[in-house]
Amino acid sequence: MNKIEAIIKPFKLDEVKEALAEVGIQGMTVSEVKGFGRQKGQTEVYRGSEYAVDFVPKIKLEIVVADDAVDRVIKVIQESAKTGKIGDGKIFVWKIDKAMRIRTAEMNEAAV
Amino acid sequence: MKVRVKVLKWLCVMTLAGVMAFGLVGLTRADDAPKPDPAGTATGDKTTVYDAGGTALVVSEPAKLSDDDAKDPAKKKAYDDSLKAYNDFKAKADKEPVAMQLADAVGHNRVAINFTWTLVTGFLVMFMQAGFALVETGLCRAKNSGHTMAMNFMIYPMGMLGFYLCGFAFMFGGMGPITTMGGYAGLNNEFTINLFGKPFGLLGLKGFLLQGAGYDSAVFTLFLFQMVFMDTTATIPTGACAERWKFSSFMLYGCAIGTIMYPFFGNWVWGGGWLSQLGANFGIGHGHVDFAGSSVVHMQGGVIALVAAWIVGARYGKFNKDGSTNFMPPHSIPMAMLGTFILAFGWFGFNPGSSLAATDLRIGVVATNTMLASATGALAATLWMWWVRTKKPDPSMMCNGMLAGLVAITCPCAFVSAGGASILGAISGILVVESVFFFDKIGIDDPVGAISVHGVNGCWGCLSLGLFADGTYGQGWNGAHWFKLVDGTYKFFSDPSTAPTGSTEMGVLGLFYGGGMSQFWAELIGVTTCFITLAVITFIVFKVIGAILNGHRPTLDVEIGGLDVPEMGCLGYNGVVMDKEVETPHPKGYSNPSASVPAASRTPVSTR
């Protein structure tokens, strides 16, 4: 099993969710995060105090899938989250050792 | 710690005992004082009936002429004329008893109109407490929201009770007749000294705890109105000292503001004291004129805020070693702007209400001038930020600009035209922006701009009266009489009956309308006195509070983590995730950052 962690632009969340539903992904965890990549923010001024707006709000999606689904899923995410502009985000894939469904105590592939 | 608490308790008890002694002396002294009217059933009669021009219906019997005065032909003629007018009126009145009864009812109604006006505008000003609370909390960080709101909340009862205890008596105990509300003259004890051959009123001494001569319906109405003005002053320093002021220190300040900080300058300007009599005594303009309180309310608050913010010290992380400032974001611009609108609305009570009379139809001009200055203030501040300073129209400065315009128009609102109001409002908008940058540069941390809005523009408002007052209103203000002679010169007459025939009595007149510098000097003396007096009083009060409480600040970890839970016991916003670390910049350039701000109180707030 693998966990796919995708950092995307917040307004792309609905599009990505619908695209994933079409390929059969039925669950995900979403969190609101801040971050920046190679492109930095700009300097702003508030009443005489300068400050840097480095961190940009993003959405982090976490989905755990079976090994054979990974390539298909990251392709779907990349296509639906892409705008072509700087700040589109990144996708990371992690190896998952174990998984369990709490309600039924099913393990691994059956739990995903 | 135990000794200091004992000292504090002893101080409170002795103060209360002293004030009650004052009050009891007032109660037990049996003099031929005017009879107070607590039920309101004896206030207002035909003697309070005036026409639109201010001419009384009833002609009163002239005072008997002494033998010496009878020898002076001018005085004898004046007496004879008055006696004839009185006899003519008495003859007419005796022929129409029903008309005289009706006149009693009309007089009562006029007083009732003025009571209603004063009370309702007073209620509007009370609502400004909500405005101040929202502006201050909106411009500060969310982790301190409960604490900031609580300070603005508690200052209302604390200031009120102090004012009730002795502040009102100090300020208005010697004001004389309450002319617009029935003429009750029981507040007649002003402590006066003689200087340069003239009486200098310093302090009122009647009306403590609103009993004795103070238990009169008109006095209670006046008390309510003046109290909400005092609370406006009281709530200004909570903004300048927000986010690092221990609640216990704030509460002691709350005890002092209504009792001994606000009333003295107030007495000198509004209580019949020496600043108001600069005209009658020395021919300096119409004395220090302040219609609704640019100096009495706002500049007093601004100066207290300045000295308090200086003594309490800047927020941790605000200033770097090289003097540059760090970003401390306002947590809710909608809250701040809503608060500003509430203040602008309440100001319609603040300025027009200060006539204490709806029968004074200048109130329309007052209200409109107020509105215009608020608009030009907001616009000027916005454009100044956008075009000159930060190249963006900053919402917090829009708020400060509108409030600056309102503060500045507060003094001259009754005495200027629409053009004057608009121009001085615009100047105040630019002034407030520059002032905010100035105080940052000299190392005074003012999170909400209170010193710039109220202190600087309160001063400008008074000085602008000396420039823009156009003479259409205020004849005889503060007992000073200025006439425009036939040849166009503008002259002071200590006895108005000696003005030559053909001359017209003028209202308050400023430099730009031919009044010369006289009124400007009177205003300058007033604002300088305000600054010196309040700076000294605030310094003493805050040093005493600091000694009793071992400092004004909470410990550094409390300040960084947010004052809400350690000081108040509960968060302002429960269930809201706050990024506290990002909200707290650390000061750059110090080897020991904790040394960048004054020492915290050595008594930490209790944790359980």
ipTM of this complex prediction, to 2 decimal places:
0.80
pLDDT tens for B552-592 read 999 998 999 899 999 999 999 998 877 765 578 999 999 99
Q: Cβ–Cβ of B324/A47 closer than 8 Å?
A: no
pLDDT at residue B286, as a whole number = 97
Q: Cβ–Cβ of B324/A46 closer than 8 Å?
A: no
pLDDT of B443 over the 70 cut: yes
Q: How far is B577 from chain A (nearest CA, A)?
A: 11
- Measured between alpha carbons, how far is B490 from B340 in angstroms, rounded to an integer? 41
User: CA dist B281 to B36, B194, B195, B529, Å?
Assistant: 30, 11, 11, 17
Q: Cβ–Cβ of B325/A51 closer than 8 Å?
A: no
Chain A residue with CA closest to B446: the answer is A47
Domain boundaries, chain B: 46-95, 106-473+508-549, 556-596
pLDDT tens for B54-75 read 899 999 999 888 888 888 888 8
Q: Which residues of B380-405 are buried (b: 16+ CB within 10 A; e: fewer)?
A: bbbbbbeeebbeeebbbbbbbbbbbb
pLDDT at residue B32, as a whole number = 64
| Alpha-helical regions (H) of B395-517 | 395-410, 418-441, 450, 457-468
In A, which residues are within 8 Å of B392 by CB distance? 45
In B, which residues are within 8 Å of A45 by CB distance? 390, 392
In B, which residues are within 8 Å of A46 by CB distance? 327, 329, 390, 394, 396
Lowest mean pLDDT among A97-111, B156-170, B362-376, B456-470: A97-111
* B33 — pLDDT class (breaks 50, 70, 90): confident
In A, which residues are within 8 Å of B325 by CB distance? 48-49
- Measured between alpha carbons, how far is B180 from B360 in angstroms, rounded to an integer? 9
Pick among A43, A47, A55, A56 to test the B interface (most B CBs inside 10 A):
A47
Q: Is beta strand B504-506 parallel, antiparallel or unpaired with respect to A56-65? A: unpaired
Q: What's the mean pLDDT when you consider all of chain B?
A: 93
Q: Does A47 touch chain B (CB under 8 A)?
A: yes
3-state helix/strand/coil string of B84-139: HHHHHHHHHHHHCHHHHHHHHHHHHHHHHHHHHHHHHHHHHHHHHHHHHHHHHHHH
Spatial CB neighbours of B528, under 8 Å, sequence gap ≥ 6:
none
Q: How far is A1 from chain B (nearest CA, A)?
A: 32
Q: For chain B, give the percent of residues with pLDDT over 70.
A: 95
Q: Does A45 touch chain B (CB under 8 A)?
A: yes
Residue range B592-599: mean pLDDT, rounded = 91
In A, which residues are within 8 Å of B386 by CB distance? none
Pick among B140, B325, B432, B452 to test the A interface (most A CBs inside 10 A):
B325
Domain extent for A91: 2-111
Contact B498, B447 (CB under 8 A): no
pLDDT at residue B606, as a whole number = 58
Chain B residue with CA closest to A44: the answer is B390
As for how many domains chain A has, the answer is: 1
Task: Find residues 71-100 of chain A whose CB sits inside 8 Å of chain B.
Answer: none
Q: Cβ–Cβ of B327/A48 closer than 8 Å?
A: no
In B, which residues are within 8 Å of A51 by CB distance? 326-327
Residue range B447-452: mean pLDDT, rounded = 98
CATH superfamily of B106-473+508-549: Ammonium transporter AmtB like domains (1.10.3430.10)
pLDDT of B30 over the 50 cut: no
Q: How far is A95 from chain B (nearest CA, A)?
A: 31
Q: How far is A66 from chain B (nearest CA, A)?
A: 34
What CATH number is attached to the domain comprising A31?
A: 3.30.70.120
pLDDT tens for B280-337 read 999 999 999 999 999 999 999 999 999 999 999 999 999 999 999 999 999 999 999 9
Chain A residue with CA closest to B585: the answer is A51
Chain A residue with CA closest to B318: the answer is A49
Number of H helices, E strands in chain A: 2, 6
pLDDT tens for B235-252 read 999 999 999 999 999 999
